[in-house]
Amino acid sequence: MSNDRHYSPGDRLLLQIDSALRTLLPFSGQPERISPATGHEETSLDEESARHVAGLMRINHTGEVCAQALYQGQALTAKLPEVRKTMEKAADEEIDHLAWCEQRIRELGSRPSLLNPLFYGLSFGMGATAGLISDRLSLGFVAATEEQVCKHLDEHLEQIPAEDRRSRAILEQMRTDEEQHANHALDAGGLRFATPIKFGMTLLSKVMTKSTYRI
């Protein structure tokens, strides 16, 4: 039986604040799985390559910040308990990605994006709004978002040097997980978004990728 009935609105607000802090503060999220980079030796990259890979990993890290916020917002407003649990479980799995990306960014001598709080707030609002409208829309939004993430990961895997096995291992595992999240959302009854809507989401994602690559 769900324990949701034991949480007051105030309790839920505190849980959301805790989730936001664990997402945005450095090294706050504790992964359940060991980073896929473990076991791969560090490769010596020239300065330009290291800076470029760090920029790509920063984009992916911000993407995971957005995913956390999206899932938390949807879980807050989901109407069905099973949908809320699906969102919360996906958010927990995304913590792994968040921690792996941050660790890799630090290894490359860089830092996460300074814009993360802004994107967290925007994504949380979008997720909460989708959940208020309907669970099917909320699940469809997850599926469409994860499809966008998979496209970004494919593009980044093409750009990361083959010898940088640490970065590649992280992105390859993330690609597998994100595809599963998209499929689970559709299997749970999520709407399949029309092409024009996906095109709009692509344009919004480009704003995020262009800005967080350097900032």
Instruction: Give binding residues for Fe cation as ranges.
Output: 64, 94, 97, 146, 178, 181
Phi, psi at 148, each rounded to 5° = -65, -40
Cα–Cα distance for residue pair 174/5, rounded to 1 Å: 33
CB 124 within 8 A of CB 17: no
CA–chain centroid gap for 69, Å, is: 8
Bind-site residues: 64, 94, 97, 146, 178, 181
Neighbouring residues of 6: CB distance < 8 A, sequence distance ≥ 6: none
Structure tokens at 47: 């300065």
Tell me which DSSP letter residue 20 carries.
H
Structure tokens at 12: 């839920």
- Give the C-alpha distances (Å, rounded to integers) separating 132 from 10, 36, 85, 110: 19, 36, 16, 38
